[in-house]
Structure 1
Amino acid sequence: MASSRRYLDVLTGLRFLAAAHIGAYHVYHMVFTGTEAPPGLHGLLDSGYVSVGFFFVLSGFILGYHHLERPPDTREARQAFWVARFARLYPLYALGLALAAPAFFKGLHAAWVEAPGELWRLDGALVLAPLLMQSWVPWTALAWNGAGWSLAVEAVFYAVFPFLAVRLGQTGPRALAVGAVVAYALALVLPVLYLLVDPDHGPASSYHSGPWMRALRFNPLARLPEFILGLLAGRYFLLRADAAPRARPVVLTVLGALILAVLLGSASLPFPLLHNGLLAPVFAALFVLLPRSQGLVAGVIASRPFCFLGEASYSLYILHMPLLFTWKSVMKRLDVPSTSVGAVAVLTVGVVVLCVAAHQWVEKPARRWIRARWAERAARRAEAGIQPLA
């Protein structure tokens, strides 16, 4: 494709919908505790974790779309790629840790006083979370700003991407099809083994997981196949960019209806499979087809309001939980029922406004500053004739 490839606005709009799904899931569980919605709505709200997998596949697709034609195959290119990813990821991630620090240290203090024998399950996060490594240890993954576990997984994706890109950049259609089947099988093999062996000896859910289930949910290697499936989809999209016809509305309708049906009926599906990639190929197909659609739904999702919110979706994702905890604390101090319509409306509007502000005034300036400092440093090293580190 030409270097002036258009930005995939419709996928940017989808990012907001996925982030909103995750936010609604946490509000449902953390605000409306003990209250269960009607079955279909319950399934939709209770399956917000599926949208994290959506982001894993989308991450692979977007990186493939932007980088597979010219993969970062030199030391300089790899370093520039990693710096760009760090600049994109870490400033808001650090802000999320800061906002979540009061709740985290309150939990540490409570563990020290009430259950010192369990303190080891939390204090590891003091070191691992700032280093984006908490997902490698099941009991630290959710300890400090729970949403951050997926960023630790994304960090692994970014680390391996330059090496995967060199191999995938020349892949043909047949190899892509085989690779997609293998990646999907690898995504599901561990959940299937979990269901067969039942190592935790009990039902698993998003808020009730044993140590083996937590390892399956959060370990970066267990989620890597979803990312690879997205990369393969991105490569296929590039191959078909000039020849592919517009997506037929009926195909997109079927894909959307399938996703919605699975979410509505999530309570009846095996949690390990649904959590770890069951819908990954459906998401990949959606990413390939939706940008080529000229239908009304695609037009709405690609509209400027959706794109604007989609650009801020990372901020919404990483900051909504500490903001939610802060809001609950304020409601408790004011003795206001947190489940009232007015309170939830204030929460929703307030979180969106604050996250958009963080995107505009923290994320974007920090990203520009980090990349500019790196460019200056690289220029000085080049002038001095110093080779970059491997």
Structure 2
Amino acid sequence: MASSRQQLDALTGLRFLAAAHVVAYHVYHLVFTGTEAPPGLHGLLDSGYVGVSFFFVLSGFILGYNYLERPPDTREARKAFWVARFARIYPIYALGLVFAAPAYFKALRDAWAVNPSEGLRHAQALVVTPLLVQSWTPWTAMAWNGAGWSLAVEAVFYAAFPFLAGRLNRLGSRALAVGAAVAYGAALVLPALYMVVDPDGTGGTASAYNSGPWMLALRFNPLARLPEFILGILAARFFVLRATAAPRSHPVALAVVGGGVIAALMGSPSLPFPLLHNGLLAPVFAALILLVSWSQGPVAWVLASRPLLLLGKASYALFLLHMPVLFAWKSVLKRLGEAPTSAWAVAAFVVGSVCLSVLAYERVEKPARGWIRDRWTRRAEQPTPGLQPRG
């Protein structure tokens, strides 16, 4: 059963900023193709893929924060946990697949026409993507709504969490420090090994848009990304241990860590892509999450404000829907003979995507989540008439 702890609203607002960074990254690469911004801005826009690492750490933190005190360690509790996770992610995930279907089937048709064997590999996404297992086969990970690969990774995290929580919730401060060091080392050992061996023969030129098969496996394999999730759980355990002390705000530390994240992203072209993609900044993200959670100053106030709170709640929909919307918008502009790089076209896409994400959150995500949880976990409880399902 989840804890009844107070919601950390500032983290919800922070989640929107991370999702917006991912959106900006895709706009930069898929709209402004061949155009390079000034160095610092280029690094910031070119590193949007790092947002997924942040989400993996945040996911571990949020689940740890809510469940570590009372982990789902019985069959009934595990079932309730897994149903709640499915209800949380799958409705919008399925909506994203529907939105992305036209682009996927067009790509499938084109691949089949050129090379039937390649088309057959592409067609495997029809089976694995709805089942949330596409990240186990790297060539299908981004075939149908590219952003969805991270949800296939999250599905493994959710499957493992009840078994991890029962062990990690007993760690003390010293064990947490050792565990964090081990998890961080585990996150970096495979990308470091890749850089040494260079199995794809990239000569150090691997990137998010230039990856060989081994790099794809490293980027998308759930086991390679599990340490980032565990770091988030360990951060939550540390947060819970500190909960008995008087809450403290650390504005200087927050400014240093936040500024350090921005500086690292701006300088990302000089950092090794395999390491940066697979958790190089994970401990920094964990520190940022902790500091924002402790913060009681203006930063926390802004992040927890009503507009950012709503946008943060809708950020999951924004993350999964923005790429299909972008492809559809580019197609419309092409038929109209308009340039996708014009200011009005980019602004229309951004505003439209954000509005669509809020609408999807309110009209699809919340109702579907309540319906699934009510039908699968509360049917036998005979709830009081008029009692509203939890969101």
How does the TM-score come out when normalised to structure 2?
Answer: 0.95
Residue 242 of structure 1 deviates from its aligned partner by 2.1
Distance 1:70 1:200 in 2: 45
What are the within-5 Å matches in structure 2 for residues 195-234 of structure 1? 195-202=195-202, 203-234=205-236
Q: 1:124 to 1:259 in 2, by over 3 A?
A: same
| Cα drift, residue 293 of structure 1 | 1.3
Counterpart in the other structure of 1:330: 332
Q: Larger deviation: 193-202 or 241-250?
A: 241-250
Could you tell me which amino acid in structure 1 is paired with residue 125 of structure 2?
A
* Structure 2: runs of 5 or more not aligned: 383-391
One-letter code aligned to 1:279: L
Q: Write out aligned runs for 1:263-274 (5 A).
A: 263-274=265-276
Does the alignment pair 1:151 with 2:144?
A: no
Matching residue within 287, 290, 293 for 2:289: 287
Moved more, 215-224 or 105-114: 105-114
Partner of 1:103: 103
Q: Is structure 2 residue 148 aligned with structure 1 residue 142?
A: no
SS in 1 for 2:208: coil
1:4, CA displacement in angstroms? Answer: 4.3
Distance 1:24 1:66 in 2: 31
- Identity across matched positions, percent: 72
Structure 2 letter corresponding to 1:145: N
Question: For 1:321, which of 305, 323, 346 is the aligned residue?
Answer: 323
Q: In the alignment, does 2:243 pair up with 1:258?
A: no
- State the partner residue of 2:58: 58
The offset of 1:277, in angstroms, is: 0.3
The runs of at least 4 consecutive aligned structure 1 residues that moved more than 6 Å come to none
* Distance of 2:322 and 2:338 partners within structure 1: 20
Correspondence for 1:74: 74
Counterpart contact for 2:3–2:67, Cα < 8 Å: no
Offset, 1:115:
1.8
> Counterparts of 1:3 and 1:136 in 2: how far apart (Å)?
32
C-alpha displacement of 1:379: 4.1
Contact 2:25 2:45 in 1 (8 A): yes
**What is the distance in 2 between the residues matched to 1:95 and 1:248?**
40
Match of residue 184 from structure 2: 184
Correspondence for 2:244: 242
Secondary structure of the residue aligned to 1:358 is: helix
Distance in 1, matches of 2:106 and 2:250, equals 53
2:30 is aligned with 1:21: no
Correspondence for 1:388: none
Q: Structure 1 residues 27 and 56 mapped into 2: Cα distance closer, same or farther (>3 Å)?
A: same
SS in 1 for 2:27: helix
Distance 1:222 1:175, change over 3 A: same
Q: Indicate how the Cα distance of structure 1 residues 3 and 274 shifts in structure 2: closer, same or farther if over 3 A, else same.
A: closer
> Counterpart of 1:144 in 2: which secondary structure?
coil
Instruction: Return the alpha-carbon distance in structure 1 between the equivalents of residues 99 and 22 of structure 2.
Output: 19
Shift of 1:259: 0.4
Amino acid at match of 1:116: P
Match of 1:302 in 2: 304
Amino acid at match of 1:78: R
Q: Which amino acid aligns with 2:309?
A: C
1:376 to 1:252, Cα distance in 2 relative to 1, 3 A: closer
Task: Specify the alignment match of 2:361 in structure 1.
Answer: 359
- Which whole-Å CA distance do the structure 2 matches of 1:185 and 1:362 have between them? 40
Uncovered stretches (5+) of structure 1, i.e. residues with no partner: 381-390
Task: Report the TM-score, using the length of structure 1 for normalisation.
Answer: 0.95
- Tell me what 1:46 maps to: 46
Could you report, residue by residue, the CA deviation over 1:112-170 in whole angstroms, capped at 9, with x for unpaired residues? 11122312331111100000000001100000000000000000000000000111122
Q: Residues 3 and 85 from structure 1, CA distance in 2 versus in 1: closer, same or farther, beyond 3 angstroms?
A: closer
C-alpha separation in 1, matches of 2:255 and 2:291: 11
Report the AA paired with residue 8 of structure 2. Answer: L
User: Measured at CA, do residues 236 and 218 of structure 1 come closer, stay the same or move farther in structure 2, by a change above 3 Å?
Assistant: same
SS in 1 for 2:140: coil
Secondary structure of 2:244 counterpart: coil
Q: What is the RMSD of the two structures over their aligned residues, measured on CA atoms?
A: 1.2
Residues in 2 aligned to 1:176 and 1:328: alpha-carbon distance in whole angstroms: 48
The one-letter amino acid of 2:245's match is A
Mapped partners of 2:192, 2:128: distance in 1: 29
How many equivalent pairs are there? 379
Shift of 1:244: 5.1
1:117 maps to: 117
